[in-house]
Amino acid sequence: MTLTFPKSPPQPPPNRDKTCTSCHTPSATLYPRDPTDTDYVTGEIVVMHESVHAPIDQIFASNNLGLKAAPVPSITSRRTKSTTRGKLRPAVVLDDDSDDVAPDANTTIRAACLMASFGGIVRYEHLPDILKHHFGLPVSPHCEITEGVAHLHTGPEWQKDHMWLIASPFKSSGQVLGRWQWQDVDKGGEPRTDRSFLVEDGELIKLKAVCEERMKEWMNRCVSDEQHIVRCKEQYDVFRRSPHQWVSYLETQQQRMEQEDNSHESGYLESDMNGLKVADKPSEPSLEDATAIVVLPVQKSSSSSTKTESKESRSPRGARGVVQQIRGAFSQRRGKGRGQRQEAPRASTDERAKSGNGAAEDSMPTAKKAKSESRRRSGWRGLGRSRRS
């Protein structure tokens, strides 16, 4: 039964990794094997009667994590084959030692990675966290294969789209019932007992490295966040209980996330609006900007005050007040210097022309008057009286 998950197409097309050679040229080489040969070797994909939850249960039951997994019956005898917790699944053999690989259908395979479709889930976002972030690995062809995403290739290429591999080798007590059979499409999908699948050496090395890396990341995460494994197990318990409950759980989580996003967006919008109330106000020219506007034209131009006023009239609103402050500060810094000497009355050209000595004598009283007038304006004389008194 294929479930329709929220906001996900039922069967999206597979993707390819542009940097992966096997994605460019998928293997079409058939893997011929004698169906009576039960000496399974590393890389072969066998038929295993096992629960899809068995690898995850062994992770939760690890002594390093200190959690006891819920018991999940594996198929160990013909008497228990009718259980709904296990069915025939493909599994990749990862150990070819004679003690570990089954010579017949009644012995176990210790090192194997189970493959599963998870009821038609094709997207990472619809998997529980322990699979989504840690142990779920897409098998080509798959829609979640993109550049930089670890994935697995088989030879020949797997005949069903969107298959997953649980990247955690585990010891299964389930029966091994031969190799997974290749289906002849030209004959209507007829299974071929003499044709199977193999994970070749290069892909097998990558798979083992990915398994080790994923387990290391999982352990590190559990050490750094003690509640991570608790959350993952609680979530996985919902996932394993019922596909319909898992769909309901996903919908609830999605609605909660949308509500949180909306609340965050409204908060950001309110914050942005408050910021715009300040930011949209026309900024007053700074002291440096106003100085550049006022002082530089005065230094370069010796024109009359009417031209200066016309330039001021073209300055931005608010700048005139700042300009006046600059001018006041400019006059105070200069003190009784150049600006006030310019205000002092100067002798006319006719008076200077009377005589050379006379012009100098006439200029002295004028300077004294200017100095006296400057002192009177600044209040210096009043201060002098108070000191003399």
Q: What tens digit of pLDDT does each residue of 30-52 get?
A: 999 998 888 889 999 999 999 99
Q: Mark whether 225 and 294 lie in a shared domain.
A: no
Q: Are 143 and 228 in a shared domain?
A: yes
Q: What is the pLDDT of residues 217-231, one digit of tens each?
A: 999 999 999 899 999
Q: Are 111 and 215 contained in the same domain?
A: yes
For the chain, give the mean pLDDT.
73
Of 252, 268, 297, the one marking the end of a domain is: 252
Residue 253 has pLDDT above 50, yes or no: yes
At 383 the pLDDT is 42
pLDDT at 138: 98
Residue 376 or 24, more confident = 24
The residue among 231, 252, 273 that closes a domain is 252
Of the residues 197, 226, 252, which one is the last residue of a structural domain?
252
pLDDT above 90: percentage of residues in the chain? 41
Q: Is the peptide bond before 156 cis (omega within 30 degrees of 0)?
A: yes
Owner of token pair 């079409």: 28
Assess if residue 385 is contained within a domain: no
With respect to residue 176, please indicate whether it lies within any of the assigned structural domains.
yes
| Residue 312 included in any domain | yes
Predicted confidence band of residue 213 (pLDDT cuts 50, 70, 90):
very high
Q: What is the number of structural domains in the chain? A: 2
227 with 367, same domain? no
Q: Let me know: does 115 contact 44? Beta carbons within 8 Å.
A: no
Please give the average per-residue pLDDT across 91-103, as a whole number: 65
- Predicted TM-score (pTM) of the model is 0.62
Q: Is 248 found in the same domain as 291? A: no
In a domain, 384, yes or no: no
- What does 249-261 look like in DSSP terms, one character per residue? HHHHHHHHHHHHH
The H-or-E segment that residue 376 falls in is: helix 356-378
The CA distances from residue 75 to 59, 306, 352, in Å, are 19, 103, 126
Contacting residues for 316 by C-beta, under 8 A, at least 6 apart: 282, 285
pLDDT (tens digit, 9 = 90+) per residue, 161-174?
999 999 999 988 88
Range of the domain at 351: 287-378
Share of the chain above pLDDT 70, in %: 55
pLDDT given at position 87 = 86
Beta bridge partners of residue 164, listed in sequence order: 116, 138
